[in-house]
Amino acid sequence: MLRAVAMNAEHTASRQENRMYRPEMHPVTFDGGATGIWSVDRIASVVGDSLPPAARLDVHHLIRDADAHQSANWSLRGVAGHERYVDRREHGQLKAISPPLGRAEATRAALIPIRKSPQWWALSQDERRAVFEERSRHIADSMTYLPRIARRLYHARELGEPFDFLTWFEFAPEHAQAFEDLVGMLRSREEWTFVDREVDVRLSR
C-alpha cells in the first residue's frame, strides 16, 4: 500500500510538472528499451560515450518521472519551445517550409542527443550566434533539406539531463541519403567542434 501511495504521488508530481509548459512548448521523454513504435536499427557514438543497447524507442509527449520508465534501458527528456539564435527573417522562412512530424510516409527517424563543451557555454549569446549561423550557416544550409526532412530540437540542459540538446528527425526512405548529407554537412562546420558528446540513434517503423 505504501508503494502504491508513493507511486501515485510521483505520477501526480509528473502531471503537475507537465502543466507548467505552455501550449506552444513540447515536452518529451524518449525511452530506449523493449517497447515502442520505433524499432532501433543502430546506436552509434559519434564522439564521447554512447548509450546502452535498446531494441525499440518509445516517445512520450510529456516529461515522465523516473519511476514511470524504470523498465527502460535509458531515458532522455527535453522541451521544445521558442527558437534560439534565429532572427525574424529566418523564423519566417523556416515556418513556411518546415513540415510537421508524424507524416505517414516518414518511416525513418533519427534521435541525435548532443552535448556542447564548456567552451561553447562560456561564449556570450552573440558569440554563439556568430559561430552557429554567420560562420557555420547552420540555418541557411539546413533549409535546403526542408521539407524532405522534418525536425524538432528539444532543449535538455536546463532539466539537468546528460545532453544539452535532443535532435529529432523524421523522413521517408527515399530521403535517407539527403539526411546523411545533412548530418555530414553539420558535422563539418565550426559549430560542431564545440560538441564533446554525440550519439546517433537510427530508427524505423
Q: Contact, 107 vs 185, CB < 8 A?
A: no
- Which whole number is the average pLDDT over 82-107? 86
- State the Cα–Cα distance between residues 196 and 175, nearest whole angstrom: 28
- The predicted pLDDT at position 1 comes to 43
Judged against a pLDDT cut of 60, whether residue 3 lies above it is answered with no
Q: Any residues with CB less than 8 A from the CB of 94 and at least 6 apart, and which?
A: 83, 86, 139, 143, 146
Q: What is the pTM of this model?
A: 0.86
Cell numbers placing 105: 510516409
H or E segment at 181? helix 176-187
- The predicted pLDDT at position 18 comes to 55
Q: How large a percentage of the chain has pLDDT more than 70?
A: 85
Judged against a pLDDT cut of 80, whether residue 190 lies above it is answered with yes
Question: What CATH number corresponds to the domain at position 144?
Answer: 3.30.70.3420
Residue 111 pairs in a beta bridge with 168, 201
pLDDT confidence bin for 21, thresholds 50/70/90: low
Determine the structural domain holding residue 119 and report its residue range: 2-204
- The predicted pLDDT at position 87 comes to 75
What is the average pLDDT score of the chain?
A: 88
pLDDT confidence bin for 5, thresholds 50/70/90: very low
- Which whole number is the average pLDDT over 58-67? 86
Q: Which residue has the higher pLDDT, 149 or 3?
A: 149
| C-alpha separations of 105 from 89, 152, 162 in Å | 30, 17, 32
- State the Cα–Cα distance between residues 157 and 166, nearest whole angstrom: 10
- The predicted pLDDT at position 68 comes to 64
Question: What tens digit of pLDDT does each residue of 110-152 get?
Answer: 999 999 999 999 999 999 999 999 999 999 999 999 999 999 9
Q: Contact, 180 vs 130, CB < 8 A?
A: no
- The predicted pLDDT at position 6 comes to 37
Q: How many domains does the chain have?
A: 1
Question: What tens digit of pLDDT does each residue of 30-59 get?
Answer: 999 999 999 999 999 999 999 999 999 999
